[in-house]
Chain A
Amino acid sequence: MQELGKQQKMVIGMVGLPARGKTYISRKICRYLNWMGFKSKVFNIGNYRRQICGTDCNSNFFDPGNKDASKARDECALLALNDMINYLRNEGDVSLYDGTNTTKQRRKLIMETLQQKFSEVQVFWVESICNDEDVILRNIQLTKLNNPDYVGKSSDEATQDFQQRIEQYAKVYEPIDMDENISFIKIIDIGNDIMIYNIQGFLQSKLVSYLMNLHIYPRPIYLSRHGESQYNVVHKVGGDSDLTQTGLMYAKQLGKYFIQELEGSRNIKMFTSTMQRALHTSNEVCEFLGVEYYSLKALDEINPGICDGLTYQQIADKFPQDYEERKMNKLTYRYPRGESYLDVISRVEQIIFEIERSRLPVIVIAHQAILRCLYAYFHEHEVPEIPKLNIPLHQVIKLVPAAYYCKETRIKIDPMTGHWEIQDEATIKKVKSFLDL
């Protein structure tokens, strides 16, 4: 379906006071768009400001009366805008302009500059408004205090300065007005209220649906493959084989794991496929937990078409050309009468919406290719990496998506002994330099 949106380039402009989740939203949108096959990138104006003006800027720098600072900030905004346009001209499909853009004048400047330099571009604005002091304070603590602007300052000092910075912006804040004649969505108090105006086209429509399902509840997502199946043992692909004894034992151990992990809670959502090995694994888990699962065909393993029931060796012998082709381009290669990874990504989109939407913990018991796609989405891997991601049998992957990163924990469960081995991935690794955001 993504081809429908490819006809036009798009710029998404963020609007809102600091600590309103603009960067969080831009990153989520960027993730979703890249996932769908639209090359997207976020241009964070704050980063430009840090690079050019340095990071020693206290709240006075943001005083609208401070003429020199205002001029510098305007220049940074235009630099970011230019880079954004170049990106679209070269390889990008969508640019996200992540900045406060809180005045009508600034927004007008951006619209006019875009019209001049790049008239075929569609522009869409996302305004985040939040009046809940607790949420704002939590945002500041979670995301601002580790910010390079406050290196070497105590957390109280930093919070105070940041709140003053917000007040500077609030002095001149003009929320988007309908007479500005722009397409926008306003998200108020994390989706309590939403206003949508003048949405145009396939992509904007999909984005609005996506945004309506976002929230900031840090709920965990558990991904596990079915227990070992008959076909796994003989290295055959496809089929609808059942669990082996080992696989069945894993299913039981998995149930025990969840009982402990969820502390007996039944408030979870569980999804599985329609294939025997997944259903039987899920049945065991549900016996332990006392919950029901949703069995969805959309979670069925990738369809290997004519290669169904063959081993990789047999495929290499019988269909040497296809075997080579798949090795070279595992992402787009479509098994004859079957599917490609791209087809699976498309198929799995509805599940992603379901998981995004859910404020309860989610458990997905499915298959290797499917979980590669789901894992890649939440853990923010590039799409081309998907076919090689490591999703072994008898392992639970626990993902806890947070503001700017996704915490991952892998729990290896020995089907015989029930022994757990926990591997905590360094979450710091994903945050890297703040400037990379």
Chain B
Amino acid sequence: MQGCNRSQKIAICTVGLPARGKTYISRKLNRYFNWLGYKSRVFINGNYRREICGTECNSQFFDPHNETAQKARSDCAKMALQDLIQFLKNGGDVGILDGTNITRERRLQIESDLKQSFNGIQTLWIESICNDSKVIQNNIRLTKINNPDYCNVNSDEATIDFLNRIKMYEQIYETITDDENLSYIKTINVGADIIVHQVYGFLLSKIVSFIMNLHTYPRPIYLSRHGESQYNVDDRVGGDSDLSELGEMYADKLADFFFKEFPTKETKNEIIFFTSTMRRAIHTSDVVASKLDIQPLQLKTLDEINVGICDGMTYTEIAQKFPSDFQERKINKLGYRYPRGESYLDLISRIEPVIFEIERSRQPVMIIAHQAILRCLYAYFHQNEIPEVPTLDIPLHCVIKLTPAAYFCDEKRVLINPQTGEISIKEEYVQEFVRSKSKQKSFIDL
């Protein structure tokens, strides 16, 4: 629901020992807010420290008794906070401060700085607590070892040093207590236990729901359009046309593809399968469903964008009949609303419950839907900017497999020739950390 309560600024600050998923949570929240239409940004303490103090910092740097290092780290933290405040002053809606913030003193200082800089700012503290050593080891392996701090060190040494760094922090860790008078959410062991204290307001209650459903299971999301439809052949928009012959062939080949992807009965039964209520999607899904012996859920929320009065026309006809609308749409494809129809922004709002469901799921998700809808879904998980949504490339007869992970999203495009069944694959691994060691700037851009 964009547009509700935009006037209030919101600052979110993380709390927790290293390797507790603070950056993960910050990034996910940041993605979610930007998606909802809020201007949001993350300010990572660690990045400021790396820029200013350099990256050759072993665990001794984090010793609380190391006074010079302490001062340097404190200065870096202040800079991050100042930048956040500036961001909110210059039109930002939500600022997220990603840092350990494990002492009461630090938290109270930040809270006081924020409240002084703004009248009526809402602040929220999110503390991530984890006692499960397996989870921590996994976090370290996945996200820290490729971190610029350890670019000259082998992975065993890096792990040991990092564990020592955590011990330094543990010496002075003070968990948030009620008498600090902060609005907070504590998430314990990846959401198994959540404690919410004095959290009010539209956005804040949305955040709690969002965090409740976060997880780090790397489950795949398969997106495909329906097979070619009659209207596709005629280049018409809207309508509820059926599949063309080629489209039916695609449905068959798609079913074969999924049959191979999910070889056992257990894996098949795990799939969460959504489609729309439009003929072309239902018929494509039915072929897949029958081959895999599973049932798709038909959701009206996945129906294609409603083109209102332009329903059934070709783009040429639209250009002739409604020339000013045609122009307007070219200039602002994102916000332009078809008369009696929808805009891309309406779509983004409409599909939010589906996005929530997908985020929540720990099982593979399969969606057979339409171009505009898939542009929105793809953009969300692949972390594209909203203005890019209307022009993203989601071709017919192609399965896009997304595997969102901690800081990046793997993508694999499987183009299936409907006639021959021939498959050609394009893979894209975007691991922002694993760049050449000299290109540290990319890490800062996180």
8 Å CB interface, A203-246 against B = 205, 208-209, 212-213, 240
Question: Among A120-128, A190-198, A280-288, which stretch is in contact with chain B?
Answer: A190-198
For A275, give the chain B residue with the smallest CB separation.
Answer: B340
**List of A residues within 8 angstroms of B349 by Cβ:** 297-298
Asked if A153 is an interface residue, CB under 8 A from chain B, the answer is no
| Contact between B300 and A339, CB atoms less than 8 A apart | yes
For B202, give the chain A residue with the smallest CB separation.
Answer: A357
Question: Among B90-98, B187-195, B323-331, which stretch is in contact with chain A?
Answer: B187-195
CB proximity of B443 to chain A, nearest CB, Å: 34
| Contact between B4 and A196, CB atoms less than 8 A apart | no
Asked if B161 is an interface residue, CB under 8 A from chain A, the answer is no
Asked if B410 is an interface residue, CB under 8 A from chain A, the answer is no
| Contact between B340 and A354, CB atoms less than 8 A apart | no
Asked if B317 is an interface residue, CB under 8 A from chain A, the answer is no
| Contact between A193 and B205, CB atoms less than 8 A apart | no
Interface residue SS majority, chain B:
mixed
How far, in angstroms, from A193 to B183 measured CA to CA in the complex? 10
Question: Residues of A within 8 Å of B, CB-based: how many?
Answer: 34
| Contact between B196 and A195, CB atoms less than 8 A apart | yes
For B297, give the chain A residue with the smallest CB separation.
Answer: A3
Asked if A294 is an interface residue, CB under 8 A from chain B, the answer is yes
| Contact between A1 and B353, CB atoms less than 8 A apart | yes
Question: Among B13-21, B78-86, B206-214, B414-422, which stretch is in contact with chain A?
Answer: B206-214
How far, in angstroms, from A296 to B345 measured CA to CA in the complex? 12
Of A294, A343, A346, the residue contacting B3 (CB under 8 A) is: A294
**List of A residues within 8 angstroms of B192 by Cβ:** 197-198
**List of A residues within 8 angstroms of B205 by Cβ:** 209, 212-213, 357
Asked if B321 is an interface residue, CB under 8 A from chain A, the answer is no
Q: How large is the interface on B (under 10, 10 to 19, 20 to 34, 35 or more residues)?
A: 20 to 34
How far, in angstroms, from A357 to B202 measured CA to CA in the complex? 8
CB proximity of A322 to chain B, nearest CB, Å: 15
CB proximity of B381 to chain A, nearest CB, Å: 19
Asked if A199 is an interface residue, CB under 8 A from chain B, the answer is yes
**List of B residues within 8 angstroms of A198 by Cβ:** 192-193
**List of A residues within 8 angstroms of B197 by Cβ:** 192-194
CB proximity of B125 to chain A, nearest CB, Å: 14
**List of A residues within 8 angstroms of B301 by Cβ:** 1, 346
**List of B residues within 8 angstroms of A178 by Cβ:** 193
8 Å CB interface, A331-386 against B = 336-337, 339, 343, 346, 350, 354, 357
For A239, give the chain B residue with the smallest CB separation.
Answer: B340
CB proximity of B1 to chain A, nearest CB, Å: 6
CB proximity of B197 to chain A, nearest CB, Å: 5
CB proximity of B292 to chain A, nearest CB, Å: 18
Contact of A346 with B300 at beta-carbon distance under 8 Å, contacts A1-B357, A205-B212, A357-B202 already known: yes
Asked if B299 is an interface residue, CB under 8 A from chain A, the answer is yes
For B345, give the chain A residue with the smallest CB separation.
Answer: A297
**List of B residues within 8 angstroms of A319 by Cβ:** none
| Contact between A193 and B209, CB atoms less than 8 A apart | no
Of A212, A274, A346, the residue contacting B196 (CB under 8 A) is: A212
8 Å CB interface, B175-222 against A = 192-199, 202, 205, 208-209, 212-213
How far, in angstroms, from A298 to B342 measured CA to CA in the complex? 11
Asked if B256 is an interface residue, CB under 8 A from chain A, the answer is no
How far, in angstroms, from A184 to B340 measured CA to CA in the complex? 45
Contact of A297 with B346 at beta-carbon distance under 8 Å, contacts A194-B196, A205-B360 already known: yes
How far, in angstroms, from A346 to B299 measured CA to CA in the complex? 10
How far, in angstroms, from A336 to B340 measured CA to CA in the complex? 16
**List of A residues within 8 angstroms of B342 by Cβ:** 297
| Contact between A199 and B212, CB atoms less than 8 A apart | yes
Asked if B240 is an interface residue, CB under 8 A from chain A, the answer is yes
8 Å CB interface, B316-356 against A = 337, 339-340, 342, 346, 349-350, 353
For B272, give the chain A residue with the smallest CB separation.
Answer: A4
**List of B residues within 8 angstroms of A337 by Cβ:** 240
A residues lining the B interface (CB < 8 Å): 1, 3-4, 178, 192-199, 202, 205, 208-209, 212-213, 240, 274, 294-298, 308, 336-337, 339, 343, 346, 350, 354, 357
11 A-B residue pairs with CB within 8 Å: A1-B353, A4-B357, A193-B195, A196-B194, A196-B195, A202-B357, A205-B209, A212-B208, A298-B1, A308-B340, A337-B240
